[in-house]
Amino acid sequence: MKVTNEKLKQLIKVKLNNAGLSAEHASDVAEVLVFADARGIHSHGAIRVEYYAERIAKGGINVNPEFLYEKSSESTGVFYGNNGSGHVAAKRSMEIACETAKETGVAVIGVKGISHSGALSYYVQQAAKEDLLAISVCQADPMAVPYGGAEPYYGTNPIAFAAPGKDGKMIIFDMATTEKAWGKILEARAKNEAIPGTWAVDKDGRPTTDPFNVSGLLSVSGSKGYGLAMMVDILSGILLGLPFGNRVSALYGNLSEGRNLGQLHIVINPSFFTDLEDFKDRITQTMNDLNSIKPAPGFEQVFYPGQRSSQKEEISMVDGIEIDDGVYDYLISDIIHTNKYSKQDPFGN
């Protein structure tokens, strides 16, 4: 089913508002989810709405959070999310980080006590639009088996980075530290499709191609992804005094409780280190250099990080966004949720 970006945003906004989120916060969440869908990151788009709606309806997301920002220095501080929507808290804390970096050259802002915040690429592009560099990391509940282990300890623990070029173009890099994000498993489930055997393992630690039989995700590049997951957990969990490792709250389970997750934004103002226009010229030259590299057999060209997602976003403005029929049917229905996510199994089995 194809829908326009604006229609999808409105459908999501109405559903989340009906679940109990304020119209303002529902609009912010819808903006982030549509951004993800428009860029082809469907695992973090409309497919997540019913889960958010159930957690909102059951009290696991604070619909009237008292956001608070406390500076700890001219360049650092903590944004307290009060277990409100992670999307709203992450967006507003990034706005603070951008303003801080413009004034001081760098900002390191911890975001403490939030729910799931979706695609991190949205928040780093906020900074890139302001001619700033940004890195954002956040912890997730334990779904990934550590290298050499058979039981989950860390989450998908994503990392995102963005840098501005000229004419509004930017490099955006957004990755889970697992071979694939959990949302990709959800997407495969929604489409009733098999997954590659390199993505996940079953309850016995054996590779599985059945998305409904996943009991652990595999780290990207083995020990390297495992190390990155540890780094993210320290920066967005331990550094902020939050639960860490396998103590991080479950995505599913008790949906009436706040998740108390952490996120960290690092924003750098290039103009404090070099000439801004020269910096943007060099980023653009990097993009052009990568595009001009001879492609390997089987590839049409080399793309710079975020380029294909940006192209999809531009196309979606004209052609609309393709979403799963089941997700669309849910969005247009009067159903808020069907209790499908109230499970103790972190993998929703």
Residues carrying an active site annotation:
116
* Residue 280: count of CB within 10 angstroms of its CB: 19
258, two tokens: 């706040």
* Residue 57: count of CB within 10 angstroms of its CB: 20
**3-state secondary structure string across 290-323:** HHHCCCCCCCCCCCCCCHHHHHHHHHHHHHCEEC
CA distances to 114, 150, 162, 291, 348 from 128, in Å: 23, 39, 6, 20, 36
- Distance spanning both ends of the chain, measured CA to CA: 27
179, two tokens: 């071979």
What is the rounded distance in angstroms from the CA atom of residue 124 to the CA atom of residue 216?
28
At how many degrees (to 10) do helices 325-332 and 5-19 cross?
50
What is the rounded distance in angstroms from the CA atom of residue 191 to the CA atom of residue 82?
35
